[in-house]
């Protein structure tokens, strides 16, 4: 590429790149970023944007963090990758120890993979292979929630909300699962038994064919940014036990402090059988995910017909990614992250509050380091995205949702600027 000018980058991008959830030919403008540091993205024309997205939940420490950079460099000079079949290495061992010590005690086995979607694939395969292995091969369906989001590969996509996930586009290739209504009980309130009626009916009718229930605990992320009562999870665990169905928690978005607890499941003190982690696992530096399970699953599968779990990505347990994840988790735990998240919660709440009065706004809500303005109508990205950039912030709405989940290190003044820009843009709609 001859030069890194704004125009040449955009033109070369437009000629060859397909962006996520975008048209290849008439997509909206993309903005060239040339570097990032702290909570700021630097564009090719020199402008800086306050990053309200943490690169989709990931960059919890901000960008270009010295401690993170050191960890990557040290591992790079030691060993960047080695195959994981038949070999192991210190970064994977240490990361697995960290993850099993931080998550519920029953989850004592870690399966590494490359991305969140694959961690969900692994979870679903674990659930199915478990039931096959223990002599119950009829249990092949999954119950998922409306408004859920679990990733973009086929297995993961099949448990996403069927409407927003546009399941009809993929026809017969997509397995048909069962969907329960999204929980409709506020985060800070109880979950009345009436909330559980539909999913109880599904379980009582179908439990013989249901392998697992999969949910995003407490926060439904990309499927609607909805928050719900932890009490729902307590009741769901009891139901799964009663109907002998496994419970999968997808904490790919909520993990590592975003909701105010290290893991969202801690709001309810509920232990799933399988737990998916990703996104903030490496502090946004590298792609890595993990699926944890309890001994019921690991023994069931290992003592079964195959004697092995039938999965093994090429880049499984990549040492560079594992070392980065260790550094990110140690950095997080060495900081007063609960206070940072609580401060962010307060600042997001105060900054977004004026939006509640605006005609275009249906609701303003916050939880942990997440702030959401839900609009009455979907936004037009083509017009709205440049409005944020002009105001010096990076916010990427989807549908009716204008939301922020900043890096935990964002200072009060930057949060104020970020939220002011969000309110201002929404006021123009
Ligand atoms: C992002 C996300 C995924 C998918 O992760 P990828 O790394 O994008 O494959 C799965 N589940 C949840 C809850 C997510 O937020």
**Looking at residues 323-342, what average pLDDT do you find?**
98
Q: What's the average model confidence in pLDDT over 332-347?
A: 98
In whole angstroms, what is the distance from residue 402 CA to residue 400 CA?
7
Q: What is the pLDDT of residues 116-160, one digit of tens each?
A: 999 999 999 999 999 999 999 999 999 999 999 999 999 999 999
**224 within ligand 1 shell (Cβ under 6 A):** no
In the numeric block, the tokens 């859920």 are attached to 148
> What pLDDT sits at residue 27?
85
Strand 361-367 versus strand 226-227 pairing type: unpaired
Strands 361-367 vs 370-375: parallel, antiparallel or unpaired: antiparallel
Please report which confidence band the pLDDT of residue 353 belongs to, taking 50, 70 and 90 as the band edges: very high
Mean pLDDT of 326-347: 98
Residue 251 near ligand 1, beta carbon < 6 Å: no
Helix, strand, or coil (residue 119) = helix
Q: Give the pLDDT confidence score for residue 2 in this predicted structure.
A: 46
CA-atom Rg of the chain in angstroms: 22
- Residue intervals of the chain classified under CATH 3.40.640.10 are 69-334
To test the ligand 1 pocket, which listed residue (20, 120, 251) has its Cβ within 8 A of the most ligand atoms? 120
Q: What is the pLDDT of residues 30-52, one digit of tens each?
A: 999 999 999 999 999 999 999 99
Which residue's CA lies nearest to atom 5 of ligand 1? 116
For strand 289-293 and strand 274-277, is the pairing parallel, antiparallel, or unpaired? antiparallel
CATH of span 69-334: 3.40.640.10
What's the predicted TM-score (pTM) here?
0.98
Ligand 1, residue 278: give the atom nearest the CA. 7
Query: Span 414-418, mean pLDDT?
Result: 98
Is residue 90 classed exposed, middle or buried when 0-12, 13-18 and 19+ CB atoms within 10 A define those classes?
middle
How many Cβ atoms from other residues are within 10 Å of residue 397's Cβ?
20
Task: List active site positions.
Answer: 21, 149, 250, 279
Residues in the chain, total: 429
The CA 116 to ligand 1 mean position distance, Å, reads 4
| Closest atom, ligand 1, to C-alpha of 216 | 13
Q: Which residue has the tokens 């997808």?
A: 250
Q: Give the pLDDT band of residue 3 (cuts 50, 70, 90).
A: low
Q: How far is the CA of 132 from the centre of ligand 1 (A)?
A: 27
- Quick one: pLDDT band at residue 1, thresholds 50, 70, 90? very low
CATH topology (fold) of 6-64+335-428: 3.90.1150
Who's near 262: CB < 8 A, 6+ residues apart? 102, 255, 256
Alpha-carbon gap, residue 276 to 227, rounded angstroms: 19
CB atoms near residue 241 (< 10 Å): 10
Atom of ligand 1 nearest to the CA of 250: 13
> How far, in Å, is the centroid of ligand 1 from the Cα of 59?
14
Query: Distance, CA 50 to ligand 1 centroid (Å)?
Result: 23
């Amino acid at each position: 590429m001859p030069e890194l000018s704004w125009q040449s980058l955009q033109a070369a991008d437009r000629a060859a790149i397909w962006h996520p959830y975008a048209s290849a030919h008439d997509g909206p403008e993309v903005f060239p970023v040339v570097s990032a540091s702290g909570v700021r993205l630097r564009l090719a024309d020199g402008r800086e944007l306050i990053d309200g997205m943490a690169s989709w939940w990931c960059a919890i420490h901000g960008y270009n963090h010295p401690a993170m950079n050191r960890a990557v460099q040290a591992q790079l000079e030691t060993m960047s990758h080695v195959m994981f079949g038949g070999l192991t290495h210190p970064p994977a061992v240490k990361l697995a120890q960290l993850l099993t010590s931080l998550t519920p005690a029953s989850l004592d086995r870690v399966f590494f993979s490359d991305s969140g979607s694959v961690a969900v694939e692994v979870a679903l395969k674990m659930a199915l292979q478990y039931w096959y292995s223990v002599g119950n091969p009829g249990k092949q369906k999954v119950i998922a929630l409306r408004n859920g989001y679990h990733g973009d590969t086929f297995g993961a996509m099949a448990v996403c909300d069927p409407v927003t996930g546009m399941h009809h586009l993929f026809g017969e290739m997509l397995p048909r699962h069962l969907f329960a209504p999204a929980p409709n009980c506020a985060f800070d309130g109880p979950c009345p038994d009436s909330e559980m009626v539909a999913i109880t009916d599904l379980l009582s009718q179908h439990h013989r064919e249901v392998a697992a229930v999969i949910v995003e605990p407490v926060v439904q992320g990309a499927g609607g940014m909805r928050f719900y009562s932890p009490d729902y999870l307590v009741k769901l665990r009891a139901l799964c036990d009663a109907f002998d169905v496994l419970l999968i928690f997808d904490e790919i978005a909520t993990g590592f402090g975003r909701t105010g607890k290290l893991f969202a499941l801690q709001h309810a003190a509920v232990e799933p059988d399988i737990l998916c982690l990703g996104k903030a696992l490496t502090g946004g530096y590298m792609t890595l995910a993990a699926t944890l399970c309890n001994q019921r699953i690991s023994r069931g599968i290992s003592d079964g017909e195959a004697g092995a779990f039938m999965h093994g990505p090429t880049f499984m347990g990549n040492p560079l990614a594992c070392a980065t994840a260790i550094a990110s988790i140690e950095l997080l735990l060495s900081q007063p992250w609960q206070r940072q998240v609580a401060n962010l919660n307060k600042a997001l709440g105060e900054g977004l509050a004026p939006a509640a009065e605006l005609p275009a706004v249906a609701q303003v809500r916050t939880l942990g380091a997440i702030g959401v303005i839900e609009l009455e109508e979907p936004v037009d990205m083509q017009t709205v995205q440049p409005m944020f950039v002009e105001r010096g912030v990076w916010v990427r709405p989807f549908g009716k949702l204008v939301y922020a989940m900043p890096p935990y290190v964002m200072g009060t003044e930057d949060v104020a600027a970020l939220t002011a820009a969000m309110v201002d843009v929404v006021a123009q709609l």
